[in-house]
Amino acid sequence: MKNGEGRMPRHVAIIMDGNGRWAHARRLPRIAGHRAGVMAVREVVRAAAKMGLKVLTLYAFSVDNNLRRPRREVTALMGLLVRYLRLELPEMRARRIRLRAIGRTGELPAHVRRALAQVTRETARNDGLTLVLALNYSSRQEIMDAACRMARSPGAARTGRDGLRRFLYAPDLPDPDFVIRTSGEMRLSDFLLWQAAYAELWFTPKLWPDFSKTDLARAVRAFASRERRFGGVTAVIGASGAAGAAGAGA
């Protein structure tokens, strides 16, 4: 990323879509697509760490997935998640990757909560890439939960955007600069609606299991070529990849 290195996004968020279609195209069971998707996660996380990204958020499992998918598939997905966490912990230690999770994780099965807690605890002091897994996640639910917590908090600032932001699932993390979605769909699907208000969007027809480190690098180069205005007229892009706007405009 030598060209435009100053325009590297700090926080990339990915909607990983297309596992089922990948499997269907190969006449395989859906779980085979999810297994292939885990391999893509491993490659992309590694690439993001080498690239120097600060935060990578992966939309791994939504509230709607939990409600609408067959129990057998959900159970298999939870098993893959636990296996991924256990197998990747040594690599997370070696690459200084810190794990976080957002969503209603308290509603996940007990063995999944235990695995998440262990890896989160053992990587908490790592100072490299922060890997955020959105699990049992819904952005609308997050905003509702934040509003309820704010209403119950004595002395909380109850007005303005910053007041509510403090009660989101991970208020300490920077908002995503860049949201990527695979599989050709062009929607956010209830993902980081508050945080992605000014994020750049990038869509690819590739199904998630086929998304590689090369695709991530291509997407990040596309981000670097864009001018971000944040509702202003002139973009000012600094070394951190953040932009400030001069003047007002549509």
Q: Which of 3, 19, 64, 65 is catalytic?
A: 65
Q: What is the pTM of this model?
A: 0.88
Q: Tell me, what's the pLDDT at 69?
A: 84
Q: Tell me, what's the pLDDT at 65?
A: 84
Here the tokens at position 227 are 């001018």
Specify whether 65 is catalytic. yes
Specify whether 215 is catalytic. no
Please give the Cα distance from 230 to 151 (Å, whole number). 29
CA dihedral 230, 147, 104, 46 (to 10 degrees): 20
Q: Tell me, what's the pLDDT at 97?
A: 98
Q: Which of 17, 19, 66, 136 is catalytic?
A: 17
CB-side neighbour CA atoms (13 Å) of 20: 7
- Run means of pLDDT, 10 residues per run, the chain, 250 residues: 63 97 97 97 97 97 86 94 96 97 96 97 97 97 94 70 88 97 96 96 98 97 85 50 36
Among all chains, which residue has been given the structure tokens 């070696």? 94
Please give the Cα distance from 63 to 58 (Å, whole number). 14
Among all chains, which residue has been given the structure tokens 């996940």? 108
CB-side neighbour CA atoms (13 Å) of 74: 15
Q: Tell me, what's the pLDDT at 234?
A: 56
Q: Could you give all domains of the chain from N- to C-terminal order, each with its CATH number? A: 5-246 (3.40.1180.10)
Here the tokens at position 26 are 């190969």
Q: Tell me, what's the pLDDT at 245?
A: 33
